Structure 1
């Protein structure tokens, strides 16, 4: 009996019988649903920190919206591209420091940001499951952004970078170059995500940026002084002269040449707090 088992025909037949369950199992695995990514939108608030908000107060939060795509690498790690539009701004009227209140500067800016982020889930996250549908997570990465600070004078809007309010590009300050309206930032943050159905995730996230510019607010170093802003053809102070030193509107002007206007040692920063909702994408792949 044992010898007959090793006849070629019987051996192949037996091998096929043993292989069938494996083929069935593999076919089932190949048809198994797998989550590959998600497309979503985000909305929340943004807060600026810098020379006008040195105490990092959360008292001038402005809107932020975005759209993103997250690629799942596995149940713990995802890679994300996130485009955001937000508004940032602040005013010395919010400050309690006497010098800052007398300085009387303010700004606003529209900011457009494209971020590349890596997300790490603390718990195994499996959309559609009952016991692995929630996880806190960490996120980090880098972003490039465009900004253009502006302020109002007598109800009219003026963009500040072309005015060279700290003497950039003038003969008095050849070492002060006009700043770029493009910059980048390092990102770090975290949040909580929850899968509410087989097709939808929701999340809340706080994300902090350490930028490589000190001019989100158009404030960085010392006052250039009145000599850097000669009167116009009509003999009146120019718009640049008026916006570089706003202290005269609340008292005696303090914008003398060389006096501290900002702190160039620290770069500007900003924070977003967002809610997001996303639609999941699936495919059929073998996990084995």
Structure 2
């Protein structure tokens, strides 16, 4: 006598079960569509805040672009890896404060960033549905980034970190170490997203960073003074000397030794405002 599990009808049912799991399109009634994540692109603007922009003005937005992958944990929570390229910069010519305007410093930098973020939706978000396709959300996390501030003198581009414009690494200031061009930041922000089809989401996001460096702009402490920048053999001032105090272009130089150049108590910050566009990834689960 054959054992029950060897009956042909049981074998056929077993094969149908396996085929159903492997071929979701053919047994759609027995499967449930699930969204597992999304691959997206972001584009927008980036704004620096710091010693040259202490008011936090949003008047020098520069380009920012990125690519990200968001993993859905459930309808409310997701985790995201986001890589971005952006430009930051500012100049004292925008400052109305007399000292800051006379200081006459400026910088630009290209910044590469990689962040890990957690996203929390205010509403249940179900792409493809009619009534759960929109939600505001909060996001937060941390990032690591590379920057390299530069400026121009006489039309020539100079990177500022090697100039040691605040006396870093000199015998006069052994406590001032050259700053690293790699740092990290804590992120907090929010936005909203809208599902326009079963495969596409669009959104808008603002993300604020609390950088853990005060040298995005190459400005932090006090003027090092002429003694930290000895002249060339021909008696001409070095490029570093000219870049550390540019106030003489406007009026009487203000960069005397020990005078405040920046505010070392506060780190720099920067912000991105971006449009997002993403393609959704789905999976089918057997459901009997």
- TM-score, length-scaled by structure 2: 0.90
Aligned-partner Cα distance in 1 for 2:84–2:242: 33
How far has the Cα of 1:151 moved from its partner?
A: 0.5
The one-character-per-residue Cα deviations of 1:17-41 (angstroms, maximum 9, x if unpaired) are xxxxxx9xx9878621100000011
Structure 1 match to 2:57: 57
Give the 3-state SS of the residue equivalent to 1:285 in structure 2.
strand
Cα offset for 1:232? 1.1
Aligned to 1:244: 244
Partner of residue 34, structure 1:
34
The SS at the match of 2:65 is strand
Q: Distance in 1 between matches of 2:254 and 2:150?
A: 21
Distance 2:286 2:168 in 1: 60
**Conserved in 2, the CA contact under 8 Å of 1:221 and 1:264?**
yes
**What residue number does 1:219 align with?**
219
CA contact (8 A) 2:31 2:287 kept: no
SS at match of 1:274: strand
- Report how far residue 286 of structure 1 moved: 5.0
Shift of 1:222: 0.1
Q: What is the alpha-carbon distance in structure 1 between the residues aligned to residue 197 and residue 50 of structure 2?
A: 41
- Kindly report structure 1 stretches of 4+ aligned residues shifted beyond 3 Å: 26-30
1:233 is displaced (CA, Å) by 2.0
Question: What residue is the counterpart of 2:7 in the other structure?
Answer: none
Distance 1:230 1:30 in 2: 80
Report how many aligned residue pairs link the two structures: 265
> What are the ranges of 5 or more consecutive residues in structure 1 without an aligned counterpart?
1-15, 17-22
- Provide closer, same or farther for how the CA distance between residues 101 and 283 of structure 1 changes in structure 2, counting only shifts above 3 A: same
Moved more, 28-37 or 106-115: 28-37
Could you tell me whether the CA contact under 8 Å between 1:29 and 1:286 is conserved in 2? no
The aligned residue for residue 253 of structure 1 is 253
Give the aligned CA root-mean-square deviation in angstroms: 1.6
- Residue 24 of structure 2 corresponds to none
230-239 vs 264-273, greater mean Cα deviation: 230-239
Q: Bigger radius of gyration, 1 or 2?
A: 1
Distance of aligned partners of 1:233 and 1:120 in 2 relative to their CA distance in 1, 3 Å threshold: same
Q: Name the CA shift for 1:176/1:30 in 2 (closer, same or farther; >3 Å).
A: farther
- Is contact 1:29-1:285 (8 Å) kept? no
Q: Tell me the distance in 2 between the aligned counterparts of 1:287 and 1:95.
A: 64
Q: Please give the alpha-carbon distance, in whole angstroms, between the structure 1 residues aligned to 2:30 and 2:38.
A: 21
In structure 2, stretches of 5+ residues that fail to align are 1-9, 11-16, 22-26
Report the Cα distance in structure 2 between the residues aligned to 1:286 and 1:127, rounded to whole angstroms: 20
> Residues of 1 paired with 2:231 and 2:274: CA distance?
46
Q: Does 1:190 align with 2:185?
A: no
Equivalence for 2:164: 164
Equivalents in 2 of 1:93, 1:223: separation in Å?
Answer: 19
Give the secondary structure class of the aligned counterpart of 2:227: helix
Q: Contact (CA 8 Å) 1:76, 1:123: kept in 2 or not?
A: yes
Call closer, same or farther: CA 1:157–1:67 in 2, change over 3 Å.
same
Structure 2 residue 97 is the aligned partner of structure 1 residue 75? no
CA distance in 1, matches of 2:262, 2:233: 30
